Amino acid sequence: MNNNVLEKKQYYTEKYRPQYHFSPERQWMNDPNGMVYYNGEYHLFYQYHPNGTTWGPMHWGHAVTKDLVHWEHLPIGLAPDEHGTIFSGSAVVDWNDTSGFFEGKSGLVAIFTHADTYPDSDRPRQRQSLAFSKDNGRTWVKYEGNPVLQEEGITDFRDPKVFWHRETNQWIMVLAAGQTVRIYTSKNLLSWEFTSEFGEEHGSHQGVWECPDLFELPIDSNSNQKKWVLLVSIGNDPIYEEGSRTQYFIGDFDGKTFFNHHDPEKTLWIDHGRDNYAGVSWSDVPSEDGRRIYIGWMSNWRYANVTPTKEWRSAMTIPRVLELKTTEEGIRLVQNPVCELQGLRDEKIVIENEVVVPGKNLLANVKGNTFEIIAQFEIGTATEFGFKVCKGANEETIIGFNVENQTFFVDRTNSGEADFHEDFAGKHECELIPENNKITVHVFVDQSSIELFGNDGKSVITDLIFPNQENKQIELYVKNGEVKLNSLELFTLKSVWR
């Protein structure tokens, strides 16, 4: 065997290495950045520390995918310069050359935060800057007029997400500022005008606000009825056990101001697990496609720097489609895996119309730690049922439904390595209301992560786990009674890296 074949065989096979999630080849990664679709490629930049496996001087790492599943790693997109390191931000296609960077053609513009400190002081300084690319994102030139936006009075001032607002014919920037979101407008991406601020006394303030995103979505796929969604991630504050997480607001936006349609005290969470943070959506997905596609960083600032991987640290969630749906509680954001992931399906196991009873594991013959399950249950006499995955003699991760409380949960208390941080082990749950006495469950397991979508993406839990890689048993379990399994499909999933 020549070296190349050998290398390929061993590529992405380290302990805990995700097989179909995006993770950097080496070193540290956090937030997704600069997500933009252009000339047949989805670009993914990411907060990257090329010299270590913990957070450090930030660069933008870079990868592209044509199908949201298979990734090509590219050289670092943006590196620190005289204005500082490169924090989170976004990228857009400047179709009409409003910036003047592209001699009348179109090209990519990245809008990001330059982070340094004020002269002769330790006080952090965060300012917004631009870079542009004329070659499909392969090389970038920093704008000579950087930075393009600064506010001396605001210390936490970062993570610009920019989009073109057709109705008012201008660029909009949403930016995190302390514990609010500030909105700026521009005709050319170069000069920005402040228009409004949102957030005081709205939603959760259990941490600094970061990584906003703002976009419009149809309600129940009806393009005559639309609402705007504002995503806001909130940072880790040691007082709150959840660590960093992402909330969202639903409302209206008129090109200047965001109006929240919910009671300001209401907090809506995008995910009820611990490991989905700083997620934002792709810009410029063609209108024939029309999807709002999202990816989050699959970790939590509470313990992100100490998770037990060696060569690299952190992965992204699978790409998900965001939609607004009317539910019993009102309009909610739902998330589902992109359909492109179906291309990874390998072996298939089907079970139909079976009654699950205690002590009889219908999946006793199935093994794996890289798979997908789609199941529908009809509530019976059982008080709890679900799956135990990545199970071995002493470890298991439980994905269950508690019938009485109508809660869906991931219990990683005994899932494997957990002693790297005292807040890691635990059970994370959310409400899941049966519809016609049924619940549907869509689960993705990939070596060291669980992504759980209940009732077509209405309830979502994303959690990291660090099980022994030999623990490949899967159990369908039930407690104190029976449950009817209307249907189950289990697919083993192929690696996207080899």
Give catalytic residue positions. Answer: 31
CA distances from 187 to 133, 165, 197 (A): 19, 10, 19
Cβ within 8 Å of residue 475, ≥6 positions away: 361, 363, 364, 387, 388, 389, 391, 396
Residues in the chain: 498
Q: Is 303 in the site for ligand FRU (CB under 6 A)?
A: no
Give the one residue of 174, 250, 278, 390 binding ligand FRU; rule: CB under 6 A: 278
Kindly tell me which residue out of 19, 23, 27, 47 binds ligand FRU, with binding defined by CB under 6 A. Answer: 47
Helix (H) or strand (E) run with residue 176 in it: strand 170-177
Nearest distance from C-beta of residue 194 to ligand FRU, angstroms: 20
The Cα–Cα gap between 167 and 319 comes to 28
Give the one residue of 44, 58, 91, 410 binding ligand FRU; rule: CB under 6 A. Answer: 58
Q: Provide the minimum distance between the beta carbon of 314 and ligand FRU in the complex, in angstroms, as a whole number.
A: 11
Please report whether residue 31 would count as binding ligand FRU according to CB under 6 A: yes
DSSP 271-310: -SSS--EEEEE-B---TTT--EEEEEESS-TTTGGG-S-S
| Cβ nearer to ligand FRU, comparing 158 with 442 | 158
Residue 322: CB minimum distance to ligand FRU, A: 19
Applying CB under 6 A, which of residues 23, 88, 179, 186 lies at the interface with ligand FRU? 88
CA distance 234 to 246: 6
Amino acid identity, position 203: G
Q: Containing H/E element for 10?
A: helix 3-10
Pattern 137-176, binding to ligand FRU, x per CB under 6 A? Answer: ---------------------xx-----------------
CA distance 182 to 177: 6
Alpha-carbon span 29 to 15, nearest angstrom: 17
Interface with ligand FRU in residues 111-140 (CB under 6 A): 113
Closest to 246 in 3D by CA, of 230, 233, 260, 259: 233
Q: How far is the CB of 162 from ligand FRU (least distance, A)?
A: 15
CB-wise, 276 or 449, nearer to ligand FRU?
276
Q: Which is nearer to ligand FRU, 197 or 216 (CB)?
A: 197
Q: Using the rule CB under 6 A, is 390 a contact of ligand FRU?
A: no
The binding site for ligand FRU (CB under 6 A) comprises 30-31, 47, 58, 87-88, 113, 158-159, 210-211, 278
